[in-house]
Chains A and B, each alone.
Chain A
């Protein structure tokens, strides 16, 4: 969040008294946090603004349930994460990952990943990111989220646990399951490439 001097407690008090100005200030204060989560876990064909609006609406409608046991931004980030996961669940996953689904640059990146023995990967970073997202689309939403936070955002298990509300063992289990699925996917892609 950009503004560290923001009086969150005072603002929440005023929000509870239905102060419209405080409500707007709260949305503006939390927007960077929410939009970062939305952008990281945005399902295909969903506008980020719409999803962000849904998250803030849930925040306001459930405000009575907030007991203060966790910091308010953590509570909001959990709403954001569950809303994104619900959206990902609602959309149908592709039954099979195919080379034909990739753009030319993405296919080139994947080819380099599978064949190039060097530690650093040549090629386009944007294409690599798109490719990673396409591979992650093959995972269950919960597993996808864990891998994304671990490997792309480089969060620790404890940080993921705080953001999602899942215990650390569950996070580890989901990471293990996701990596196994990705490994299988890589093996299939290698086979298809060789044949």
Chain B
């Protein structure tokens, strides 16, 4: 056991001596208050977590889509520019030949 383990064990052993607050019964009116609040709260149907994950999945898919379009768009722009230059060069070459 290293020095830290010994120190931490000493401290937690002492802390446990303080114990817990033993009063654990619900205070008067607590249950009624919770039940009244839950009556107006909307219930979550069993498929709700799937809906939540579906929205997250959709967001992730959309982010991937944007990244894919952005990266490919750069490729298109570069290839278009290259084509324009090469076309100009071809014309130039033709003019020079004539």
Chain A residues within CB distance 8 Å of chain B: 2, 20, 23-25, 27-28, 31-32, 35-36, 39-40, 49, 52-53, 56-57, 60-65, 109, 113-114, 119-121, 123, 125-126, 128-129, 131-132, 151-152, 154, 179, 182-183, 186-187
Chain B residues within CB distance 8 Å of chain A: 4-18, 20-21, 24-27, 30-35, 37-39, 41-46, 48-49
Residue from A23, A36, A179, A183 within 8 A of B20 (CB atoms)? A36
A28 & B26 in contact (Cβ 8 Å cutoff): yes
Interface centre among A114, A119, A151 (most CB of B within 10 A): A151
Contacts of B7 in A (CB 8 A): 113-114, 186
Secondary structure of the B contact surface, majority rule? helix
Q: Please, could you name 12 A-B residue pairs with CB atoms under 8 Å apart, sorted by A?
A: A23-B35, A27-B34, A28-B26, A31-B25, A49-B27, A113-B11, A119-B6, A123-B14, A128-B11, A132-B12, A179-B4, A187-B4
| A160 CA / B42 CA spacing, docked (Å) | 31
Knowing A31-B30, A56-B34 touch, does A61 contact B44 (C-beta < 8 A)?
yes
CB distance from B5 to the nearest CB of A (A): 8
